[in-house]
Structure 1
Amino acid sequence: MSSPGEQGSLHLSELALTRAVDDRAAARRSPTLLAELLAAPATRVLEVSRGRAQLADGDRLRWRPPAAADARRLGVFLGEQDGVSRVAVGLAVDEAPADDDPSWQGLRALAPALGPADAGLVVQAVAVLNWHDAHRFCPRCGAPTEVIEAGYVRRCTADGSQHWPRTDPAVIMTVVDDDDRLLLGRHVDWPAGRFSTLAGFVEPGESLEAAVRREVLEEVGLAVGEVAYRGSQPWPFPSSVMLGFTAHALGTDVRPDGDEIAEARWFTRAELREAVDAGIVGLSPRVSISRALVEHWYGERLPDPPPS
């Protein structure tokens, strides 16, 4: 285990969903590109349904050649990988696979299994298709919008205004005190024993550091001094990017707000390890940046809870 001084200077690494290695090839996004690619047998297509994608086997996505039905589906040009063009298509409601089909998985299940190439492409596909689902009408006048620029722009059919995908920034932080204890909170909707780092959305006109200080003060009543950036993770549930920080508390008297946070506790490393080993405390899944932040503070990986 690294000492607090050693681990405190490091940025997070090897976060799930952050390992993209493909070329998005944005310069190729022309009005005719999708039609051209979907007519080319060498193109590889990824089907997405309600945020889920299909596995070809245990650790690879199912990529296929274009099909005739793709022309009527919502398509997004993902870019190029190893010289091959990649496209994602969204399946209609009546095409959706069964909920209990084990070959179709959401990002939380897919991320730990996939290699960097597939992981980067599937998170891109899900994020952009989520945006399309929520922006079918113009925010200015309410008229329908149409998809242009290979899936990366929607244009209003009435006023011609163009709209691009948006990502909602959210800060997520480990809060530590003068004794290097870690503060974890339990959301009001979570069962007893489930704890995580504090987090919240960045408000308009607010710096990331200010958002960290505001969220900690609002949720647990603590003032925060030094704030340090540690890393980020795309989190398209439906459209966030999580920006990870460590924050130094200027006190220890926690007062959960009761609206979002029901309970907040300080942990030494020994206390947290004992609680996790005993199954008294459950942490966020390993796919999340929250878990990475906690383990960054701890100095090494923590075990998953024992089977119930």
Structure 2
Amino acid sequence: MTGLLAADTSAADKRAAFRAGLASGRIQRFPGTFNPLVAKLIQEIGFEGVHISGAMLAADLGLPDIGLTTLSEVAGRGQQIARVTDLPSLIDADTGFGEPMNAARTVTVLEDAGIAGCHLEDQVNPKRCGHLDGKAVVPTADMVRRLRAAVSARRDPNFVICARTDAANIEGIDAAIDRARAYAEAGADLIFVEALTATADFEKVRESVATPLLANMNEFGKSELISARTLEQIGYNAVIYPLSTLRLAMHAAEAGLREIFTRGTQSDLLDRMQPTDRLYELLQYERYGEFDSGIANFTRPKDQ
């Protein structure tokens, strides 16, 4: 049964691993996942963690990333994902789903879901995607209260609270750095300055902020796509790829569906599909069969 129905590693150990990874000097790579199966693949390939993006979750529900998802929806999907992987899961908690007291409750719910950490942002609620224009941020003092509430509600000291600021494209990078420092003083363990554009911006933030830093490598957004190795050399501690797996999957699904619609068969698509054997390998089908046989394989004793 070990590692079959659920991950072997406890939530507490995943959180400790996340903390240790941030302090290791090696960048922690967290690809985004939209379901538990992709999380298993991320672990098998060898990444350090999984990211659960609010934009990805909203898109998976057929919604835009404008603050329409709820805490229960986010925590429920997070729990499903965290359950199947030994890797720490970092989840997007938007603005904390309300006022500071809501942010505090959000942390407790995410802890109970087995999540290793969350990021909270300083946008006005309801928020919007960090790489869109037209964003607005709350005053620094309001975000500080949001973070202090979240930190105070934390029961496991290893649960990582990441503070995200969207101020760089609104107030400028210097203002974003000032906010980052204030958020670190409020207790944030990890700082996420969203939608930086060039490598020089990432370098400036690193030079100005002592707290561990997270970079967002979101395709088709405002940021230059920088390699993990370069980010590590700059001094970043973690990087997320929030939408990559969804974009890859949806591109392949759309191309395949259009061909089936046009040709009436998927016969020429088989080499672009995951074979059943590979799916079964990822799901550990054989081990489930062995477990089932072990439980059901018994002989009824004869009457005495």
**TM tier, shorter chain?**
under 0.3
Structure showing the higher helix proportion among its residues: 2
- State the TM-score, normalized to the length of structure 2: 0.23
Structure showing the higher strand proportion among its residues: 1
- State the TM-score, normalized to the length of structure 1: 0.23
